[in-house]
Amino acid sequence: MKKTHVYEVDFMRTFIMLGVLSVHTMTIFNQQFDDWTIPFLSMSAFHSSMKVTRLAFMFITGFVLFLTYYHKDLQLFTFWKKRLSLIAIPYVFWNIVYLIFRGTYSIDFNGSISAFLVELMNSLLQGDEFYIYFVLVSFQFYLVFPFLLALLKRYEKWHLQLFVGSVIFQVLLTTFYKLGIPHLDTSNWPYLLSHYGVFVLSYQCWFVAGGMVACHYEKICTFLEQHKKTILFLLFTGVVIMWAYYLFNRVILLESDKRAQSPQQPIFLPYSLLVIALLMIYGRKWASVRNDPKWEKFSQFIMFASSCSFGMFLVQPFPLFMIKQMVPLFSEAKWMYVIVLPASIVFVYATSMILSYMLNKTPIVSYVVGKKSKLPRWPKIVKAREQL
């Protein structure tokens, strides 16, 4: 079956990445306020409603893979070799870069190679350097994907039941994360179980949802477009509920800011699916007019930003670090954050995009952002070979 390009995925990637970088930039600004102050709680409430971007990325990962492989035979080891090798290089490379970078301001290796290697091994196993956890989760998903694909193919008539089961399991799992784990001693648990934010099972419903949409794409999209107004209303209502829910977690349940904002809570499941549904609706709308001359510039931006998205995720710590050094300069005039925050988001987004593009276009080096490339064929060498 001929592979077709689903342009709405480019639209979704672009705006989800914008959301991701906005969340990480806002975190820096929010840290300048004292906890329990009105500015802190207000920004945190808004911030928490944007944490959905992580879940949307998991959905897209599942959607693209299922769309690619559902209607063709998957060769297990060929698949693993292709997929795992493409993310293994970035994962190892950026862990090394992040450690060297952090060594300039927060880690002291005492000039010891062995200390560095120990730290590197821990980082590779835990995926806790900056935001590289996503790559570690992707590793795990690629390992289990062939078996999940086989399950959906075998029980094709039972997709609705499988999805409902996945939703129920996700609700039970996140309920346990919220209400059970805080009262348990997890110090002796395996790392992925005690640090469930980097465990693939914690995101299973979004991967499964991506698979379901890929298998029944036109039917689901038709349904979403027919109920666009309802989805818009539910989403706007959901945003307000998410803000109120954050305050409930803080004021009534007396949770920390980090726990109150965690996306590993049951409420994030329906909310995230609404966000994903709306992105799909507008993504398809753009895809239908992308060749219209009046949309030309916007379409060029979408395709460019989408092609750079993975690299942007990997290089973002560097522009974010620059913003972190700059923000304290406004500590005596925090009212200026109204201007500085949007400008900082644009700076982080644009800088990450430029860095990613440069890496994408550099032969061989492009592997560190998951892009295959070959050494350039110099004209003189090519001409000499043709004369032989």
**Reported confidence tier of residue 278, pLDDT bands at 50, 70, 90:** very high
pLDDT in tens, 359-368: 999 998 999 9
Residue 174: exposure state from Cβ atoms within 10 A (0-12, 13-18, ≥19):
buried
Q: Is the pLDDT of residue 384 over 50?
A: no
Helical packing angle, 296-315 and 76-102, nearest 10°: 70
Question: Which distant-in-sequence residues (6+ apart) come within 8 Å of 17 by Cβ?
Answer: 305, 309, 312, 313, 349
pLDDT at 72 over 90: no
Per DSSP, which regions of the chain are E strands?
A: none
Q: How far apart are CA 120 and CA 123, in angstroms?
A: 5
Give pLDDT tens digits for 283-298: 999 999 999 999 999 9
Asked if residue 1 has pLDDT above 50, the reply is: no
Average pLDDT in the 37-62 region? 94
* Residue whose tokens read 């590289």: 132
pLDDT digits (tens, 9 = 90+) for 5-25: 899 999 999 999 999 999 999
Among the listed residues 61, 255, 274, the one whose alpha carbon sits nearest the alpha carbon of residue 177 = 255
What are the φ/ψ torsions at residue 360 (nearest 5 degrees)? -60, -40
Q: Give tens-digit pLDDT for 147-163.
A: 999 999 999 899 999 99
Q: What is the rounded CA–CA span in Å between residue 176 and residue 187?
A: 17
Instruction: Please state, rounded to an integer, the average pLDDT across all residues of the chain.
Output: 91
Residue 188 near residue 247 (C-beta atoms within 8 A): no
In the chain, the N- to C-terminal Cα span, in Å, equals 40
Domain layout of the chain by residue ranges:
7-387
Model confidence band, residue 53 (pLDDT cutoffs 50, 70, 90)? very high
Model confidence over 371-382: pLDDT tens digits?
A: 877 766 655 544
Share of the chain above pLDDT 70, in %: 95
Rounded to whole angstroms, the Cα distance separating 16 from 6 reads 16
Q: What six digits make up the tokens of 300?
A: 């060029």
pLDDT band at 105 (very low <50, low <70, confident <90, very high): confident
Does the pLDDT value for residue 73 go beyond 50? yes
